[in-house]
Amino acid sequence: MSENRFVSGNVIVVYCNFVELESKELLPQHIMERIAVCTRIYQRIMKSKPDKSDTIIKVAADKKIAG
């Protein structure tokens, strides 16, 4: 994994490991909840931070698990 260094701005990290799904299945509930939290954090940053344009969302997942 490469190492990123941030000197300014905002970083949101979303961890979302889960087992592979059938094509008709929805994402697991815990992943949906994490996405909802990420969305609320992002909205708060966009409304209140002076450096809001310097925001990164990183998704951490294992490709072997989720396909």
Assigned domain for 1 exists: no
Assigned domain for 3 exists: no
Assigned domain for 5 exists: no
Q: What integer best gives the mean pLDDT of the chain?
A: 80
pLDDT at 66 over 50: no
Average pLDDT over residues 36-46: 92
Average pLDDT over residues 3-12: 74
Which DSSP string do the residues of 3-66 spell out, in sequence order? PP--SSSEEEEEE-------TTPPPPHHHHHHHHHHHHHHHHHHHH-TTTTSEEEEEE--HHHH
Assigned domain for 20 exists: yes
Assigned domain for 4 exists: no
Q: How many domains does the chain have?
A: 1
pLDDT at 40 over 90: yes
Q: What is the reported pTM?
A: 0.67
- Residue 50 structural domain: 10-66
pLDDT at 3 over 80: no
